Structure 1
Amino acid sequence: MTSPTREALIGASRIVVKVGSSSLTTAEGGLDPARLDALVDALAARRAAGSQVVLVSSGAIAAGLAPLGIPRRPRDLATQQAAASVGQLALAHAYAASFGRYALTVGQVLLTADDVVRRSHYRNAQRTFSKLLALDTVPVVNENDTVATEEIRFGDNDRLAALVAHLVGADGLFLLSDVDALYDGDPRRGAANKIEEVTGDSDVDGVKAGTQGASGLGTGGMASKLAAARLASSAGIPVLLAAAADVPRALTCADVGTAFAATGTRLSARRFWLGHAAGAAGRLWLDDGAVAAVVHRRRSLLSAGITAVDGEFDAGDVVELLNLSGAVVARGVVAFDAVELPALIGRSSHELPAEQRREVVHADDLVPIRTF
């Protein structure tokens, strides 16, 4: 019997599909046309069945290695960017040709951190995706590795896919890689149990997820996929983690891989941006009373509940709110500059000058963070 989560993935009318570098390329030969065509075959079939499809594709750097005569993924940033510059053209051309077999038009969307961190850019990206889908195209998304240094060093397309899934209002997210499912250990190193369904914290207790893919071509690994699945599912989007080789079954009957149930409610674009997309410029530590007020009663943060401040930020920046143990419990838009706050710590509103008697973070600009 198919689970409700897998039924939701089968019936999703708008999906985001993410594929990793190792599923499209080899270090020796660049792009693998047969594997890319097999992926496009499955995506076109899902399109023909009535779903809108957004593809988040890694592979630009890996695709550029062979044309440049580079035997393995380089460590230095300049060579990575050069490979991305060459590989992005090869990748876009390959997708255009492959989707063209089905008379489908693709639109390339290259994103940087600013496009999901800055609110104005985030909204512009939403409009771009909306118009591309309205024009019956298949958006093909990648990080702009040629210019975005932070993404190459620290980013991964798994998290990008989760952010894009929310941004486009997807009903399902499919994370495809060279691993067929989530396991409670590394199956290459001995006995490990496959996890069929994830519905909450207890299902992933003790899971040891690696940070590097098996091929060495990508920047993610199971840890990034697990984090991305948690991010999307906590925002109300069911997720399927499966092998790229199983993509026909993943997109038709969803009877492969690991399914992650939607554990949270879908947030507004603004609240999702605050909670997950925006970069934090600083941190505020809260006492237990303030944590209870902010997280459980959804109240505004007042200066009396703050115990410490860290970072350089201005009023209007996003900051993280931490409990006394150092765990992030919420994020929000701060109403004071960093230089103003130390003098306000622990003081009640009636103790402050009239011009400073306001919330440090207003409840309307604050989002509690759920670990899973």
Structure 2
Amino acid sequence: MGERRPLPPQTYRRLVIKVGSAVLSGPAGRQQQLAIAAQIAGLRREGREVVLVSSGAMAMGLGKLGLMERPRTMPGKQAVAAVGQPTLMYWWEQAFGWYDLKVAQILLTAEDLAHRHRYLSARQTLETLLEWGIVPIINENDTVMVDEIKFGDNDQLSALIATLVGADLLILLSDIEALYEADPRTHPTAQPIHFVERVNAQVLQMAGDDPNRVGTGGMKSKLLAAEKAQAAGIPTLLLPGTRSQSIAEALRGEPIGTLFAGGNRRYSGRKLWLYQLPKPQGEIVVDAGAALALRQGGASLLPAGILEVRGQFGVGEAVRCLDERGHLIGVGLVHYSAAELRRIQRRKTQDIEAILGYKNTDEAIHRDYFALASELEAR
């Protein structure tokens, strides 16, 4: 944390912009939507590409149905989102139409990005839309969401999309103006922080978890999204979505909002996808020796180091690896199914063929298909 560093605008050709529900809800929501479309149109005139991640289906549905708060049941939430999603897209289409820009709707679940071929397919679709000069508008597919396939919130989705499309910058537009030393709602004298070098435990302590009435995220969610983007070397800007020129002002280097540095890219390609997987298919608990070898030695995981296999998954699917205390070590692609691993766990590699009647490989997870978790996630 320190003094705000300027953003050289010419280096940010591709942007992912996430708009929170609180920005689009209420009496001024429509005007905010028009102002955001105007800002994105300005970015397009400068030769930039923009992918928009928009919350708001739930908020729109609540308004249309005259409800004061989100339903408590999953079917109720799905129904409200189904009512609100067409309106959300209609207003975006109208807003961008003022600037002769076409839009495309893309609804995703975590399951869509947890499968490598679907992940690559989504990327190809987005690349094509950008090539055609269309603004993709992405939202979580709330109408079919269940706990097992939720991203958590659109902050997390936006970080994954930024990685998916190789964005140069992630922008989070929120009703929260910046990261503060403490929650300004309960600490009125708290000061804004305009630059964060790295999201760590100290930074997370400044966040509050409470979302607003219509949203699902909070400051902590935004910090975790910034941390995901940092893993891909992508800087993040947290800006006030209710300020009509906040993006242009931030790109000029004015001290508005909070800039999270991109840092060094830790992973790329398949390993980056593994690192950011929203919903791995199962879990493997390993012993202390295997945990040490994975964390410090860059080793593969052998069946002998496996203590427990949780869930059901097939060959080639992604799983979380945990140590004996339940701390996350990393995520990898398995060479054996859950049923096969249960049969060969704690056994030596030379015993695999005798137990199963065949042997795919010596390794349960090869080191080339394993992404080590950051210190932040492992806590």
Of all paired residues, the percent bearing the same amino acid is 40
8 A contact 1:281–1:311 mirrored in 2: yes
For the aligned residues, what is the CA RMSD? Answer: 2.5
2:236 to 235, 239, 246: 239
Tell me which moved more, 148-157 or 329-338: 148-157
The 1:340–1:207 alpha-carbon spacing in structure 2 relative to 1, beyond 3 Å, is same
Instruction: Note if 1:371 corresponds to 2:375.
Output: yes
**What letter corresponds to residue 267 of structure 1 in structure 2?**
Y
1:19 to partner: Cα distance? 0.6
1:208 to partner: Cα distance? 4.2
1:343 to partner: Cα distance? 4.4
1:209 to partner: Cα distance? 2.4
The 1:285–1:77 alpha-carbon spacing in structure 2 relative to 1, beyond 3 Å, is closer
2:211 maps to: 213
1:129 maps to: 126
1:153 to partner: Cα distance? 7.0
Taking the aligned partners of 1:114 and 1:158, their CA distance within structure 2 comes to 17
1:145 to 142, 153, 166: 142
2:197 to 196, 199, 222: 199
1:92 maps to: 89
1:3 to partner: Cα distance? 5.1
Taking the aligned partners of 1:9 and 1:115, their CA distance within structure 2 comes to 33
Taking the aligned partners of 2:140 and 2:200, their CA distance within structure 1 comes to 33
Alignment of 1:16-31 (within 5 A): 16-26=16-26
1:14 to partner: Cα distance? 0.1
Taking the aligned partners of 2:311 and 2:200, their CA distance within structure 1 comes to 34
The 1:366–1:44 alpha-carbon spacing in structure 2 relative to 1, beyond 3 Å, is same
Taking the aligned partners of 1:167 and 1:129, their CA distance within structure 2 comes to 9
The 1:8–1:276 alpha-carbon spacing in structure 2 relative to 1, beyond 3 Å, is farther
8 A contact 1:9–1:171 mirrored in 2: no
For structure 2, list consecutive stretches of 5 or more residues without a partner in the other structure: none
**What letter corresponds to residue 198 of structure 1 in structure 2?**
V
Tell me which moved more, 105-114 or 267-276: 267-276
8 A contact 1:64–1:88 mirrored in 2: yes
Taking the aligned partners of 1:171 and 1:24, their CA distance within structure 2 comes to 25
* Other structure's SS at 2:273 match: helix
1:67 to 56, 64, 67: 64
Alignment of 1:209-358 (within 5 A): 209-214=207-212, 216-246=213-243, 248-251=245-248, 252-255=251-254, 256-265=256-265, 267-277=267-277, 279-353=279-353, 355-356=358-359, 358=362
8 A contact 1:112–1:151 mirrored in 2: no
1:120 to 113, 117, 121: 117
8 A contact 2:199–2:223 mirrored in 1: no
**What letter corresponds to residue 283 of structure 1 in structure 2?**
E
Tell me which moved more, 58-67 or 288-297: 288-297
8 A contact 1:177–1:244 mirrored in 2: yes
Tell me which moved more, 163-172 or 285-294: 285-294
* Other structure's SS at 1:188 match: coil
The 1:93–1:49 alpha-carbon spacing in structure 2 relative to 1, beyond 3 Å, is same
Taking the aligned partners of 1:237 and 1:110, their CA distance within structure 2 comes to 23
The 1:183–1:203 alpha-carbon spacing in structure 2 relative to 1, beyond 3 Å, is farther
**What letter corresponds to residue 212 of structure 1 in structure 2?**
D
1:10 to partner: Cα distance? 6.6
8 A contact 1:145–1:152 mirrored in 2: no
The 1:203–1:347 alpha-carbon spacing in structure 2 relative to 1, beyond 3 Å, is closer
The 1:85–1:74 alpha-carbon spacing in structure 2 relative to 1, beyond 3 Å, is same
Q: TM-score, normalised by structure 2?
A: 0.88
Taking the aligned partners of 2:235 and 2:204, their CA distance within structure 1 comes to 22
Aligned residue pair count? 367
Instruction: Note if 1:186 corresponds to 2:183.
Output: yes
Tell me which moved more, 340-349 or 228-237: 340-349
2:39 maps to: 42
* Other structure's SS at 1:67 match: helix
**What letter corresponds to residue 363 of structure 2 in structure 1?**
E
Q: Deviations over 1:297-355 (max 9, x none)?
A: 32211123223332233332211112233211111011222233344333332454463
8 A contact 1:10–1:254 mirrored in 2: no
1:38 to partner: Cα distance? 1.2
**What letter corresponds to residue 373 of structure 2 in structure 1?**
I
2:55 to 30, 37, 58: 58
**What letter corresponds to residue 253 of structure 1 in structure 2?**
R
Tell me which moved more, 350-359 or 107-116: 350-359
**What letter corresponds to residue 210 of structure 1 in structure 2?**
G
The 1:154–1:119 alpha-carbon spacing in structure 2 relative to 1, beyond 3 Å, is closer
**What letter corresponds to residue 338 of structure 1 in structure 2?**
A
The 1:2–1:132 alpha-carbon spacing in structure 2 relative to 1, beyond 3 Å, is farther
Q: Deviations over 1:180-206 (max 9, x none)?
A: 111232111024343222222557346
